[in-house]
Amino acid sequence: MPARDIYHDIVKKAIIKEGWAITHDPLHLRWGATDVYVDLGAEQLLAAEKKGQKIAIEIKSFIGRSQVNDLEKALGQYILYREILMRQESNRTLYLAIPEEAFLTAFEESLGKLLLESNLIKLIVFDRKEEVILQWIR
């Protein structure tokens, strides 16, 4: 099983505060002979209009030496997991969870904006100090 991201527990707490129940930690997926692990699986239990909604969350810290490299790795992993989920759990939506600092630097710039404008990626932006979700970008 892969190592957890440094913000794993923070995102988990923030998601629970939003009314989600953690159903998988991690969410195990298998494609052929390959096992992959999405950081979290969750289901909405509180809001009547969203009850039963399921999500998967891949958490990325974006603390590498290169924002572009971090973005490329995160996007590649996101696309891979999304494609497997579409075939195995089509009722589960994948999100990439990133700290606010990463959003302001990687997604407010031209490359990140390109991904958001093309609706290629869904984001959860969190405050790592307050342990809360700041934005859901669908």
Please, which pLDDT band fits residue 47 given cuts at 50, 70 and 90? low
> Is residue 136's pLDDT more than 60?
yes
pLDDT in tens, 67-91: 889 999 999 999 999 999 999 999 9
Whole-structure pTM value: 0.93
Mean pLDDT of all residues in 2-12: 94
pLDDT of residue 45: 73
At 89, list the tokens.
């759990």
Specify the CATH architecture of the domain 15-137.
3-Layer(aba) Sandwich (3.40)
Mean pLDDT of all residues in 109-137: 93
What DSSP string runs through 53-88? -EEEEEE----SS-HHHHHHHHHHHHHHHHHHHHHH
**Pairing mode of beta strands 123-127, 92-99:** parallel
| Domain ranges within the chain, ordered by starting residue | 15-137
Report how far residue 39's alpha carbon sits from residue 23's, in angstroms, rounded to the nearest whole number. Answer: 11
